[in-house]
Structure 1
Amino acid sequence: MRSELTDRSPVGCDWDPTPGSPEAVADRATRVRHAAEAQWDQADAVAAVLRTVAPPYWSGMAAEAFAARLHTVIDAGRKAAARLNEGADALDAWADAMGDAQELADSALSRAEKALEDIERTELAMASLGVADDATLYRLRMRLEDAQTRLDRARADAREAEAAYHSSETTFGRAVGEAVRDAMAPLPSSEGAAFGSGLSALAVLDPSASVNANHMSMLRRLTPEAWALLVAANPRLLQDFWEHPPSPDAVASWWKGLEGTPLEQRLISAVPELLGNLAGLPFAVRDRCNRAVYAEALKRASDLTDEQRRALAQVGAALLRGARDAPSSLVCFNLHGSVPLVAVGFGELDRANTVTWAAAGMDSDASAATYSWSESALNLLSEQDRLDPTQSHAVVAWLGYDAPDRVTVSTPGPASAGAYRFSYELDGTHAARSTRADVPPPLIAVVAHSYGTTMAAAALTRVKHPVDSFTMLGSAGIDTGLVPSLSNLKVRAADGSPAVYATAARSDVLAPVGSKVAGRALPNHEAALPGLLPLEGDLAPWTQGRTIAGARSFSSEGAYVPGEGYLLPTKGHSALGSGDSRSGFLGATAPAGHGYFDVNTESLRNTAATSIGRPELVVGVLTATK
């Protein structure tokens, strides 16, 4: 198989002018012919049934009506078989034409490489001449002209091969489209055309490429009308795109070429449920698309599951709550997974100087926690704004994975699955801004709580573009099977060390106990020490888990700040406190005002400082963990 990585600069191309696999197209032709044969056999089988219900076996008006229907089925089956054969013929012709174009292009490349070698060799010979006789100089000049002529011819042939390829591709698409339209006469002509163009685009996907790469090829090739038909016929495709997203850099570059064109608006109208969850698109576009899908989901709420309806209510409350304090965006909205998947953004995501992704932990599925996690994100955003009002800030409350419960929290599965998607979202933030000339790139931070730290750490080993900081609160531990060392995290340095931070309240017993049970390593050495609380007693051995070095730890125990007053301590494991005292399993639920993300806590203050790239504003000292 030809390699797409071949250097084609000798013929003046930085792309493959004749991409694709003739063998794969020919294989599809064979499969289409088999389908045509099966369709014809089915028509013959119906014809055999027709003979058994014809006179003298059955007569009368009912028999005539039934026979007429069978004739319609037989005719439709045979017509479909004929059209399938025509499609197979078109595929075979396309495979041959593709092969011919590739042969010419490859020949041109080989000849161009040889001509360039000859040019270089001749120029060196001419440069090394001392006093040369006219005959020698003439021969070298003639040799140079001949090599240049051959190079020009090779490059012309490469352009000819590319033109022939695209001409044949157009002919193929037209032939398939005509076959499909003829086979589907009852369909509106626009749908037939869209189906035909969609089929021609899908037929040239490379079977050896990754699913992610083929998804990007589909984005480039399919028309909005073809997309609408394809998604309507196969809604599972939306979840496939979620689980195997195309490269955010490629998505951002593709969308940049569509901005301001009619095609942009047609795509938004045709497939908002696809575009809304496409990492690399501008957040404003994603918000527009996801709000449209959300509005449609509200209209058909009676058809949804109880969990989906709870997610709708949570999203609505979060957007309403955010609208009071900051611009809000529906960054992700996916009802096609095993659980609803959501992300809500606050602040001007497309323009902010800092963008923080906040990853939730255990028991934080979107149907139960979108509102409360959005409250945590808004508290963080407010503190970021207070600490550094000279910069603009934005925070995304991310609940885009199937968060574990108390049973699955000890397993790596949710972290591994969530990390894959989360890494694309982080790279998408970088990609979406990289195409903008009017705003600078943002500082990108990750803040995670509980099991969210387990998931986010795994994601930070996968990202293409490093983030600027990673802050862990009440970590449930790092899975060293996924992250052997914090040095594996793609996080930039601050003050000479990776900007990786961690905090764990002394009264947060659940995090170290959970980490110990799961065999994960704590990023806070102090959280792994016995005797965290006088009331622990027999629990002390369970807090003596493994640790992992590489983070810088800060306090969540409360402090006095001159000129500001007292910052409250965190008294449990929860992000936001509730009630008058600690409650729940191992006292995990902090009292009101004493969660990690509650207003006026030392934890929130220090997390805001690290996430905006201002570690010098952390209250107390930053201690390197060992």
Structure 2
Amino acid sequence: MLLIAAALLTASMHSLGVVEAPVAPAAHSAAVVHAAAHLPEDGSVPRPVMTGVHLASDRVGLDRGPAFLTDLSSLGRADLLRAGRDRRVLATAEDHPPSATEVAAWWSGLTDDERETLTTLAPSVVGNLEGVPYSVRDRANRAVLVTGLADHSTAAAVTAMLGQVRDALVHEDGAPDRFLITLDTRGAGRAAIAVGDLDTAADVTVVVPGMFFTVTGQMADFTNTANDLYTEQATVAGLAAPGSGNGVAVVAWMGYRTPDLSNIMSLGMAKTGGERLARAVGGLRTIRDGDEPRVNIVAHSYGSTAALMALASGQMSADTLTVLGSPGSDVRTAADLAVRTGGVFVGDAHSDPIAGSGYFGTDPGSAGFGSTVLNLTGGVDAQGAGDVFRRPVGHNDYLKPGTASLHDVALIAVGRGDLVREQVRRGERGHDGLPQTSPDMYLVRPQDLQPRD
């Protein structure tokens, strides 16, 4: 058990692929002005009860939701600028936001000048609101990124985080564009980068990381992994099942804080991560209302626990779910998940000590769960293309180029899960047909036992 716990600690520390015009002054909202203009002189941030943009602690019970948006858009330029930098306003926008449907309705009701003013003066708010068009969010978040990197008063930890995001946005000529659709520099940080166009893609895949993934440590590698999956999906695009839109998009979604040494045993972050993931998927569905893409969730390690919980919560749905190296969850069967029938897939690499452990509950690859366990032994492409794929080894090999797992994930993401090979169900013997062996000790190295946060 201790070995499994240690492996869980280190399992996700390596990235999978290497393994954030003027308008006439508007009527001021007194509650917002009071909150944004009366901060402690020492720079500390009090912790009032969060009640939308109404920030005073004695205003408990005031509306969030649309009221937050109405108050925000009613501010004059100076007050909007202050509110856009207020950490309490940002916490509401990023932790307790209005629904994507409410945001989309509000945004569509604004004039072009009002939208431009909000984007320019409060980019940290606009860039993280689900329901705002992705191109606008990308522009807003890139402005935050540039400003933060140029500001010499920015804390060193934040500068390092922003530097990693900057690097993650770099791509080679001819490669798909990258869009910064989430950027939150509070604490350990959160970020999400889309490879490809979320507004038009027929297939959208959201990749969810596991333990010890941080924006500062792995955002660039994680985004490159998303690019590898994008490339693999493009190679099988000719096999794609009919869908709306054109092309594919893959989101490197580091939208939740992953566990570290202090909270490895807890499912609290999986729950929070699942809630944030549900909001992100809800935002996509709102933006693409009437032209929804195929939505695929690919989740690794602890990220699979978060995704399973989200899809069993009633708050989100997906066309497919592929979990890789999963430590399990409290979800008992695939029937409890809001996923299309036959759309749950499980990948277990050779010598992965986490896969099949059931550490956090039911193993999604167990007999009776109702999933398809992928045959990742490698070999010649079953579709007759002549390509040879190697089998993934260990916990961090699943989405590396050339693996059978990356190829299968790509097929699933374009709606062709019927083309993947199914593994023999687990029993007392290993799921590759060989006696189960102990985890490879190289997976647990002393230098990997240090928290990244």
- TM-score normalised per structure 1: 0.55
Q: Is residue 504 from structure 1 mapped to residue 348 from structure 2 by the alignment?
A: yes
Q: Is residue 470 from structure 1 mapped to residue 321 from structure 2 by the alignment?
A: yes
Show the counterpart of 2:109: 257
After superposition, give the CA deviation of every residue in 1:560-615 in whole Å (9 maximum; x if it has no partner). Answer: 223323211001101xxxxxxxxxxxxxxxxxxxx101112110011111122211
- Structure 2: gaps of 5 or more residues: 1-26, 39-52, 241-245, 428-453
After superposition, give the CA deviation of every residue in 1:502-528 in whole Å (9 maximum; x if it has no partner). Answer: 111131123445x43xx4221112xxx
Q: Which of 371, 389, 395 does residue 250 from structure 2 map onto?
A: 395
Q: What amino acid sits opposite 1:612 in the alignment? A: V
After superposition, give the CA deviation of every residue in 1:351-374 in whole Å (9 maximum; x if it has no partner). Answer: 111111100111111111111111
Show the counterpart of 2:127: 276
Show the counterpart of 2:68: 215
Secondary structure in structure 2 of the residue aligned to 1:286: helix
Q: Is residue 563 from structure 1 mapped to residue 397 from structure 2 by the alignment?
A: no
Show the counterpart of 1:329: 179
Secondary structure in structure 1 of the residue aligned to 2:191: strand
Question: Please, what is the CA RMSD of the aligned residues?
Answer: 3.1
The structural deviation recorded for 1:318 is 1.3
Show the counterpart of 1:621: 422
Q: Which of 347, 356, 362 does residue 521 from structure 1 map onto?
A: 362
Show the counterpart of 2:14: none
After superposition, give the CA deviation of every residue in 1:19-54 in whole Å (9 maximum; x if it has no partner). Answer: xxxxxxxxxxxxxxxxxxxxxxxxxxxxxxxxxxxx
Change (3 A) 1:351 1:175: closer
- TM-score normalised per structure 2: 0.75
Q: Which of 415, 421, 446 does residue 297 from structure 2 map onto?
A: 446
Secondary structure in structure 1 of the residue aligned to 2:109: helix
Q: Which of 230, 239, 243 does residue 381 from structure 1 map onto?
A: 230
Q: Is residue 416 from structure 1 mapped to residue 271 from structure 2 by the alignment?
A: yes
How many Å separate the matches in 2 of 1:573 and 1:408? 20
After superposition, give the CA deviation of every residue in 1:158-195 in whole Å (9 maximum; x if it has no partner). Answer: xxxxxxxxxxxxxxx69979x99xxx9xxxxxxxxxxx
Secondary structure in structure 1 of the residue aligned to 2:275: helix
Would you say the 8 A contact 2:69–2:106 is kept in 1? no
Show the counterpart of 1:610: 412
After superposition, give the CA deviation of every residue in 1:310-368 in whole Å (9 maximum; x if it has no partner). Answer: 322221221113665211011111112x2111111100111111111100111111111
Q: What amino acid sits opposite 1:489 in the alignment? A: L
The structural deviation recorded for 1:294 is 0.2
Would you say the 8 A contact 1:332–1:344 is kept in 2? yes
Would you say the 8 A contact 1:362–1:406 is kept in 2? no
Secondary structure in structure 1 of the residue aligned to 2:408: helix
Change (3 A) 1:261 1:570: same
- Among all aligned residue pairs of Structure 1 and Structure 2, give the percentage whose two residues are the same amino acid: 28
Change (3 A) 1:246 1:563: same
After superposition, give the CA deviation of every residue in 1:373-431 in whole Å (9 maximum; x if it has no partner). Answer: 11211111111111015740000101121111355333202111211211101100101
Change (3 A) 1:291 1:573: same
Question: Which structure dedicates a bigger proportion of its chain to helix?
Answer: 1
Would you say the 8 A contact 2:376–2:405 is kept in 1? yes
Change (3 A) 1:236 1:175: closer
Show the counterpart of 1:431: 286
Change (3 A) 1:446 1:209: farther
Q: What amino acid sits opposite 1:256 in the alignment? A: S
Show the counterpart of 1:370: 219
How many Å separate the matches in 1 of 2:218 and 2:406? 19
Change (3 A) 1:351 1:418: same
Change (3 A) 1:303 1:450: same
How many Å separate the matches in 1 of 2:369 and 2:197? 35
How many Å separate the matches in 1 of 2:424 and 2:294? 23
How many Å separate the matches in 1 of 2:66 and 2:106? 13
Q: What amino acid sits opposite 1:398 in the alignment? A: W
Higher RCO (C-alpha 8 Å, min separation 6)? 2
Q: Which of 343, 353, 371 does residue 202 from structure 2 map onto?
A: 353
Show the counterpart of 2:89: 237
Larger radius of gyration: 1
Q: Which of 151, 163, 168 does residue 313 from structure 1 map onto?
A: 163
Q: Is residue 599 from structure 1 mapped to residue 401 from structure 2 by the alignment?
A: yes
Change (3 A) 1:401 1:465: closer
- Structure 1: gaps of 5 or more residues: 1-172, 185-200, 526-546, 575-594
Change (3 A) 1:409 1:324: farther
Q: Which of 394, 403, 411 does residue 572 from structure 1 map onto?
A: 394
Would you say the 8 A contact 1:559–1:567 is kept in 2? yes
Change (3 A) 1:417 1:564: same
Change (3 A) 1:212 1:451: farther
Would you say the 8 A contact 2:103–2:130 is kept in 1? yes
Q: What amino acid sits opposite 1:621 in the alignment? A: E
How many Å separate the matches in 1 of 2:189 and 2:248? 27
How many Å separate the matches in 2 of 1:442 and 1:522? 29
Would you say the 8 A contact 2:189–2:215 is kept in 1? yes
The structural deviation recorded for 1:301 is 5.0
How many Å separate the matches in 2 of 1:175 and 1:367? 37
Report the number of matched residues: 374
Secondary structure in structure 2 of the residue aligned to 1:447: strand
